[in-house]
Amino acid sequence: MNIQEKVKKTLKKAGIKKKDKIVVALSGGKDSSVAAYLLKKIGYKNIQGFHINLNIGKYSEECLERVVELSQLLDIELKVYDMKKEMGSGMCYLRSGIQSKSKNEIKNCAICGVIKKWILNREVRKLKEDYIATGHNLDDEAQTFLMNIFKGSPQLSANLGPKSRNIPKDKKKSKFIPRVKPLFYIPEDEIRKYSKSKKLPVVYEGCPCALDSYRIQIRSFLENISNKDKKNIVKNFEKLLPRIQKTKDPRMEYCDVCGEPSRGRICKKCRLMKIRERNDFNKK
Ligand code: SF4
Ligand SMILES: [Zn+2]
């Protein structure tokens, strides 16, 4: 089965309809670009792109250029969220402000990931779309699962799957936009090959801020593991899911500060922002 057929099967199994409105979170990298390309090729008609300009110097400039190029190539609308304009500072500035005032070490990606997710859900909700599609691939999912095991929190993977499992019953009232991962079962090297064969406008270099990420350590740990074994990690985890879900509190609450979906009274993004503000306040 080729990559297109595999993705088609994944989307069909996840119940994504051809007429569903899907926003693809385009980073400028190969994964999200291939996800958008294949969605379009398979016949999903209501696709649009969403890009967060993190303002990480030259890297972000290149990502933005590629995303614009890809959207033109696929003939899809593109919405760009510029962090500096919308939030007053780019990711590097915001992140170092938090890190310099935090008592504990917080990794770059831990901050960036939380803030990106918060922006994505909030902004895509304004667009009134059905789903957010991301470029997560088989390697990402195997890494996430293992990271959660090493942290002693396998329940954090309870929503792992090609489509969000925690979709609130009342979809219309919910503020959470369900996620779909078309490349869930596709290994990273296959995606890279495909992207190159289609000559997609993509930034292949990694993000310069990802140097200290815990995910990178897990990635090198998995480096010598075959794609078949990575698939086994994810497939076997899916078998365990029903038991893990029984032990997990599935409640999706809303943050007391920003009103966005949250697993606790205050969402992770607002907790990070509080680290900055509280210390500023103490200095006054
Ligand atoms: S690699 Fe880390 S710092 Fe870079 S964009 Fe991704 S989450 Fe952010
Ligand atoms: Zn919040």
Q: What is the pLDDT, as a whole number, of residue 166? A: 64
Q: In terms of pLDDT, which residue wins out, 166 or 237?
A: 237
Query: What contacts 110, CB < 8 A, 6 or more positions away?
Result: 214
Q: Which ligand is nearest to the CA of 135?
A: 1
Q: What is the pLDDT, as a whole number, of residue 249? A: 55
Q: In terms of pLDDT, which residue wins out, 37 or 153?
A: 37
Domain layout of the chain by residue ranges: 3-283
Q: In terms of pLDDT, which residue wins out, 10 or 282?
A: 10
113 C-alpha to ligand 1 centroid (Å):
7
Q: What is the pLDDT, as a whole number, of residue 46? A: 95
* Nearest atom within ligand 1 for CA of residue 209: 3
DSSP string, 207-255: PTT-TT-HHHHHHHHHTTS-HHHHHHHHHHHHHHHHHHHHHS----EE-
Is residue 112 scored above 80 in pLDDT?
A: yes
Is residue 154 scored above 80 in pLDDT?
A: no
Cα–Cα distance measured from residue 186 to residue 9, given in angstroms and rounded to the nearest whole number: 12
Is residue 123 scored above 60 in pLDDT?
A: yes
User: Which residue lies with its CA nearest to atom 6 of ligand 1?
Assistant: 109
Q: In terms of pLDDT, which residue wins out, 19 or 242?
A: 19
Cα–Cα distance measured from residue 218 to residue 55, given in angstroms and rounded to the nearest whole number: 27
Cα–Cα distance measured from residue 22 to residue 16, given in angstroms and rounded to the nearest whole number: 9
Q: What is the pLDDT, as a whole number, of residue 125? A: 93
Cα–Cα distance measured from residue 15 to residue 167, given in angstroms and rounded to the nearest whole number: 13
Cα–Cα distance measured from residue 129 to residue 243, given in angstroms and rounded to the nearest whole number: 32
Smallest CA-to-CA distance from 38 within 231, 165, 226, 185 is with 185
> What percent of the chain clears pLDDT 70, i.e. is strictly above it?
91
* Nearest atom within ligand 1 for CA of residue 206: 1
242 C-alpha to ligand 1 centroid (Å):
31
Q: What is the pLDDT, as a whole number, of residue 171? A: 61
Classify the C-alpha dihedral 71-75-81-84 as positive or negative.
Answer: positive
pLDDT band for 160, please (50, 70, 90 cuts). Answer: confident
Q: Select the highest-mean-pLDDT range: 36-45, 220-229, 258-267, 268-277.
A: 36-45
SS3 for 24? strand
Residue 60: its H or E element: helix 57-74
Residue 38: its H or E element: helix 30-42
Cα–Cα distance measured from residue 131 to residue 125, given in angstroms and rounded to the nearest whole number: 9
Rounded to the nearest 10 degrees, the angle between the axes of helix 108-126 and helix 214-222 is 100
Q: What is the pLDDT, as a whole number, of residue 266? A: 94
Q: What is the pLDDT, as a whole number, of residue 82? A: 97
Is residue 248 scored above 60 in pLDDT?
A: no
Q: Is 113 close to ligand 1, i.e. is its CB under 6 Å away?
A: yes
User: Which residue lies with its CA nearest to atom 8 of ligand 1?
Assistant: 112
DSSP string, 73-129: HHT-EEEEEEHHHHHSS-HHHHHHHHHHH-SS---HHHHHHHHHHHHHHHHHHHTT-
Q: In terms of pLDDT, which residue wins out, 32 or 176?
A: 32
Fold assignment, 3-283: Rossmann fold (3.40.50)
